[in-house]
Amino acid sequence: MHKSSAFPIVVNAVTCFLLLSLADVQGNERPIVGILSQPCTGFRGCNESGSYIASSYVKFVEMAGARVIPIIFNAPHDEIMFRMRYVHMLLFPGGAVPLQPGTLFFETSKSLFEHVIDLNKRGFWFPLHGTCLGFELLHILVARSGGVLQTFNSTNCRSKLNFTESARHSRLFQNFSNDLFEAARKKKIAVEHHMYGVSPEAYKNFPSLQSFFRILSTSADLQGKIYVSSMEAIDFPISGTQFHPEKPVFEWKTGQEISHDPQAILMAQMLSNALITEAKKNSRPPLSKGPQLNSLLIYNYSPIYISDDSIPFEQVYVFHTSSTPHPRSLERIN
């Protein structure tokens, strides 16, 4: 019986595509991502002086081959900058923190954003990505106004992504297949959990947004109101998604409108790959290697399971303010 050669051809084509994609990555096979912690928001085990990172963000970057160092927002400035010297990319995660100028979280975020801009201007490729709250934060920092945000009814829902012409050639989406683009357009596989957002009109009202970012997709809230759902900077490796790419793979709370569709999971993997590909372009060596670096990694901390279904995370890492970069022992959250 004659056997079709279609399968080997497909495999070879995919292999060639992966090799060509990897050829574009410069230098760094051991990327480290800094994830910014944020103030505790009313769950046991995390007091007012503490901060946390949802473990889904850690797993999200790990699944594309990166390690994580927590950037503890309320640590002394010198410690924050010390940790930043070890990372190749920064992630502003989602959460529920008021984005008010003058607050420690906002001012720390602003300082880090300015540091990333400065590094890139000095010739260091240093990516920054914001998810949900982080996406909103990036817009406020570029617009220099909280007025860039509007209210939207997307607190717990799924959405479609309406891609712009820029998406296919963007760093975030350039490796999406036609099938994945089509799935994201037609099926509600993007996970939304926000009450604020940025309308496309804001890019006209705040010219700094239009000169800094290009819109990659928009989505509609439950009332049909349109908001920007992804963007990336024109001149810097900075990007953001209003939706949560990490949740389809790593969050399972009942009552949460999270798509676990295979294409939602594939989209998460592709976005993780895209972000870590950018991190790998940062070949700046860490300040030191060995024990000093190892003491900063997220592996020194234990994720804590949260059984309370009202908290939208399965696991979190909790941090207590310290003048040293060493972890603290934590109690299990029941």
Domain ranges of the chain: 30-320
CATH of domain 30-320: 3.40.50.880
φ/ψ of 244, rounded to 5, equals -105, 100
Task: Yes or no: say if 133 and 94 are a contact pair by the CB < 8 Å rule.
Answer: yes
Q: Quick one: pLDDT at residue 134?
A: 98
| CB burial string 26-54: b at 16+ within 10 A, e below | eebeebbbbbbbbbbeebebbeeebbbbb
What is the token pair recorded at 194?
């926000």
Q: Tell me: pLDDT of 322 over 70.
A: no
Distance CA 47, CA 127 (A): 31
Task: Yes or no: say if 109 and 91 are a contact pair by the CB < 8 Å rule.
Answer: no
Q: Quick one: pLDDT at residue 112?
A: 99
Q: pLDDT-based confidence at 307, cuts 50/70/90?
A: confident
Q: Quick one: pLDDT at residue 277?
A: 98
Going by C-alpha positions, the residue among 297, 258, 275, 33 that lies closest to residue 156 is: 258
φ/ψ of 88, rounded to 5, equals -110, -5
Pairing of strands 150-159, 50-54: unpaired
Distance CA 55, CA 42 (A): 17
Q: Tell me: pLDDT of 132 over 90.
A: yes
Q: Quick one: pLDDT at residue 152?
A: 98
Q: What is the mean pLDDT of residues 32-40?
A: 96
Q: Quick one: pLDDT at residue 26?
A: 55
Chain-centroid distance of CA 294 in Å reads 23
What is the token pair recorded at 2?
């004659």
Q: Quick one: pLDDT at residue 42?
A: 67
Lowest mean pLDDT among 40-44, 119-123, 289-293: 40-44
Instruction: Tell me whether residue 132 is one of the annotated catalytic residues.
Output: yes
Q: Quick one: pLDDT at residue 140?
A: 99
H helices present in 85-177, as ranges: 104-121, 133-143
Q: Which helix (H) or strand (E) holds 241?
A: strand 238-241
Q: pLDDT-based confidence at 89, cuts 50/70/90?
A: very high
Q: Quick one: pLDDT at residue 41?
A: 75
Chain-centroid distance of CA 310 in Å reads 23
Instruction: Tell me whether residue 40 is one of the annotated catalytic residues.
Output: no
Q: How far is CA 217 from CA 42, 102, 199, in A?
A: 33, 31, 11
What mean pLDDT, rounded, does the chain reach? 88
List 40, 46, 129, 132, catalytic entry: 132
